[in-house]
Structure 1
Amino acid sequence: ASEVIFNLRDFLHDRRARLGATDLGRMINHATQLVQPRPDSVAVRITIDDELGLLKQDPPLEVHVDRVQTTYVLINLLVNAIEACTQAQTAEPEVRIQLQRHPSKPYVVLSVIDNGPGLPAGDTEAVFKRFFTTKKKGFGFGLAICRDVIDRQRGQIHAQNNPTAGCSFTFCMLVQSEEAEEETRLRENAADQMLDEETTR
């Protein structure tokens, strides 16, 4: 437990995201493979809803993210969804990864959708606050870190209850482009300059 706390502390203090081109399909496959071996996920079906064929593009679709941190976000959302379905003893538990394009901006929109019990009323925003948790065992760090990661990547993340059952966590990722790379370079240069100014005071 102490190692986990130290890792979380280091993660929270490391505000510099290492943004770059990341194969979206490989990242999703990696995350789903890591959560599948969990003993409590055996009966939970994970499916991918990719009606637009974003994962079938050639060359593969790339997003402009920190690969390691964004994989963490996806794993966290998948594990939460699996646990929600399992603990609620949902009759036919299912977790769905849905992929869409933003209608007007160069973003891929990814949703993790479950058919579990959903979130308590009023908790769709509170779940992202640090130390907030609905679990009996938990530190309340996971979703707060997820929001921190997505914010630093110039994206957004939100939660909502589904009309029928369960809830959805949705976040967006910039599509890889020269413009995204250039903006990242400008932001990093500005951050380095601010750091230099602070250290010379």
Structure 2
Amino acid sequence: MDRITEIQALPEVLSPSRRYDRLAVWLHWAVFLLVALAYAAIELKGNFAKGTPPRNLAMLVHEWAGLVVLGLAVPRLLWRLVRGAPMPEPGWRLMQLAGSAMHWVLYLFILAQPLLGLLTINAGGHLLALPQLGIEIPALVGPDPALKDTVKEIHETLGTAFYLVIGLHAMAALFHHYMLGDNTLRRMLR
């Protein structure tokens, strides 16, 4: 039997103990979409001249998508700590350890990146706000140009590293699905 036939022969429904629950799946994909939105916005920002409305909008989308990522990362991490994760698919112990480590690195990124972004904004003397809605996020630090430059550089460097980590995570899921034919990817789908 070839790999595609084997994958198609996998049971359609995984037992609850072998898959992530609905909240974990929702949080995973919501964070994914928000991270993708933040990355798309920051990449688009470079296409517009400084001070123009489209550039300002792209930056605002980037900042708020990041803040919502942080807002979802905390319950996501708490849910993972309380609820745990399904048992890993059978396979090499080293691969299971690498998968677990990758998940914790992703959690670190989705917590650190938005916090670093917010610190950059605040150290630059600004608040993250939507005045039209009366929303203003309190500053974590006061204006500090040197801190702003340092934190911004870390934020941008980690942002580039995050591309790699996300890519490895996606490639590992696809490798498990198409090459190993296990349910690693399917257990995060509903």
The interval holding the TM-score normalised by the smaller chain is under 0.3
TM-score, length of structure 1 as denominator length: 0.27
* Larger RCO of the pair (alpha carbons < 8 Å, separation 6+): 2
Q: Compare the two structures and name the one with the higher strand fraction.
A: 1
TM-score, length of structure 2 as denominator length: 0.28
Q: Compare the two structures and name the one with the higher helix fraction.
A: 2
